[in-house]
Amino acid sequence: MDELRRTLNFAVEKEREAEAFYRSWAAKADEPGVRTLFTQLASWEQGHAEKLASINAEEVAALESPSTGSGLSELLVDIEAAPDMTLQEAFVVAMKREEASAALYRGMAALGGKAGQLFSGLEAEERRHKELLEREYDEIFLPEN
């Protein structure tokens, strides 16, 4: 159960960091579409943090089978952002963070039950976030020839 609690705490922390990251870049972005995208992502990440913070680790641990409980810590990926990075680098960091979050939630979904459903939903949302970022990245940084 300590691993599960540590994983949940890590996930909440990463969602809060993601929210702050997106809010910061929304304020820095010159293009209105990028500002809107990052503002929306910040709002979604805030919602994720709230959902995760409401999970009772003891209740989830009661559902956990021995085979699914181990290995969650291997999914805890920390992707650092540099304070002086460019908008393009910020997009890359954001996409990598969304991908890492999706992988974490996919692993946690194996717990099953209501918590598993929540984690499956979070995984799908993180994948959608990454796809949104990829589309915007392509439009801004990979213009057609």
Question: Which CATH number belongs to the domain containing residue 97 in this structure?
Answer: 1.20.1260.10
Q: How many CB atoms lie within 10 A of CB 86?
A: 10
Domain range for 122 is 2-141
Per-residue confidence (pLDDT) for residue 66, from 0 to 100: 44
pLDDT in tens, the chain (145 residues): 677 788 888 889 989 999 999 999 999 988 898 999 999 999 999 999 999 998 887 777 665 554 444 455 555 556 777 878 889 988 998 999 999 899 989 988 887 777 788 889 999 999 999 999 999 999 999 987 5
The domain total for the chain is: 1
| Residue entry with tokens 């956990």 | 64
3-state secondary structure of 41: helix
Question: What length does the chain have?
Answer: 145
Per-residue confidence (pLDDT) for residue 71, from 0 to 100: 58
Per-residue confidence (pLDDT) for residue 70, from 0 to 100: 44
